Amino acid sequence: MVFKYYPLTILILGILAGFYVYNLTDASFIYTLPFSNEYTFDMPVALYIMMIIYIIFFISIIFIFSERFGRFIEDSAIKNDKKTFIKKIKSRIIQSDNNKFVIKTELFKEIDNIFDGLDIKPKPHFTSCNNQEMKKLFAMYENLQNGEEIDIHKFNIPQTSSLFTLNVKNSINKNYKNGLSIIKNKNYIYELKKFAFIALVKNGDSKDIEKYKDSISYDRDIVLALIEAYLAGKINFSQKEISDMCINNKFNKDDYMDLAKNMKGKINPSEWIKLFENLADSDENAENSYFYVLLELEMLQEARERLRTQPSYDFLNIRAYLDLKSTGKSYPIELFFK
């Protein structure tokens, strides 16, 4: 604010100084420019004084404006870096591959360097953000976490982002039919195809399951979902198909045990025995589960005969159970199968 009076003050000061000197002396002075004999000036001394004051004034103006211009450039660079940094935060949240963010100021370069070493995500229920663009982004993130479906194009969320994946899952959870087109679409990752197919198996009818069951490669979770559908009578499998699915997807001992316990009471006993006998003959990981089925059905003699083919140090839980049974004692079978 003081600066606007500076030119007027210098102007008045120069005029007053000129009048004052002129009143002291009206003498003239001849001045020849250095290295030149052609340009000479014959003026009153008072005028020279005024010229010196105004020359100093113009030099000071140059310095003042250069300092202000430099400050303006620096402030503009900081503002631009702030906008760029906010865009980078947004890009990190939506997991965009866009890395074309150029930071120019030293202040933000240091912050940006620290930021690159952090793994960030929005804080739940955070509503006090003053930046409106980021506030909308935080709200979108929380809506996704709460199971809502959002417009991904509005936020430019790439298909490679986990937010895109979560949004598709939210859509499928609302209606499994939203995922039917995904199962056969090669542009979607396996995780989404798997999610869509399991949703179909759990919620769809037999016709749709049969239509899509050969459109995806199976893993352990899909096999378990298909077996659940089989037990519910929604789809048919032969024992060999079930056995092959389990073996091909490398079921471990716990998987087989969970499967055996889950099938209890939901399948014909003879089919239950036959299935796990076939599994145990093909995969040693199913041996303990086969013993579980035999003991659940009180087929103690068959269990003893099977046990004789095993090393004496193995299946101590089965041996202990049978020994207790032979003495007339009975304990819940679950105590021997953890």
pLDDT of residue 189: 93
Of 3-12, 81-90, 121-130, 155-164, minimum mean pLDDT range:
3-12
> What amino acid occupies position 258?
D
CB 288 within 8 A of CB 315: yes
Nearest 5°: the CA angle 162, 189, 182 is: 105
Question: For 87-116, what is the mean pLDDT?
Answer: 83
Backbone angles phi, psi at 263, to 5 degrees: -80, -15
> What amino acid occupies position 257?
M
- The confidence band for 96, taking pLDDT boundaries of 50, 70 and 90, is confident
Question: For 212-239, what is the mean pLDDT?
Answer: 91
Question: For 200-220, what is the mean pLDDT?
Answer: 91
pLDDT of residue 4: 67
For residue 245, pLDDT beyond 80: yes
Question: For 39-63, what is the mean pLDDT?
Answer: 75
Of 30-39, 205-214, 322-331, minimum mean pLDDT range:
30-39
Among 4-18, 88-102, 246-260, which range has the highest average pLDDT? 246-260
pLDDT of residue 282: 92
For residue 1, pLDDT beyond 60: no
For residue 49, pLDDT beyond 80: no
CA 293 vs CA 141, 220, 233, 277, 279: distances in Å: 47, 21, 21, 9, 12
pLDDT of residue 31: 65
Whole-model pTM? Answer: 0.74
Mean residue pLDDT across the chain: 85
> What amino acid occupies position 223?
V
- The confidence band for 248, taking pLDDT boundaries of 50, 70 and 90, is very high
Tokens of 224: 């378990």
pLDDT of residue 69: 77
Question: For 186-204, what is the mean pLDDT?
Answer: 94
Of 65-69, 151-155, 204-208, 331-335, minimum mean pLDDT range:
65-69
For residue 222, pLDDT beyond 90: yes
Of 118-132, 200-214, 250-264, 289-303, minimum mean pLDDT range:
118-132
Q: Name residues whose C-beta falls within 8 Å of residue 337's C-beta, 6 or more positions apart in sequence.
A: 257, 288, 292, 317
Question: For 200-205, what is the mean pLDDT?
Answer: 92
For residue 167, pLDDT beyond 80: yes
Among 52-56, 67-71, 292-296, which range has the highest average pLDDT? 292-296
pLDDT of residue 32: 64
More confident residue, 143 or 121: 143
pLDDT of residue 134: 87
For residue 105, pLDDT beyond 60: yes
pLDDT of residue 88: 87
For residue 11, pLDDT beyond 70: yes
Separation of alpha carbons 142 and 122, rounded Å: 8
Q: Would you say the C-alpha torsion 127, 128, 129, 133 has a positive or negative sign? A: positive
DSSP string, 56-117: HHHHHHHHHHHHHHHHHHHHHHHHHHHHHHHHHHHHHHTT---------SHHHHHHHHHHTT
For residue 29, pLDDT beyond 70: no
For residue 193, pLDDT beyond 90: yes
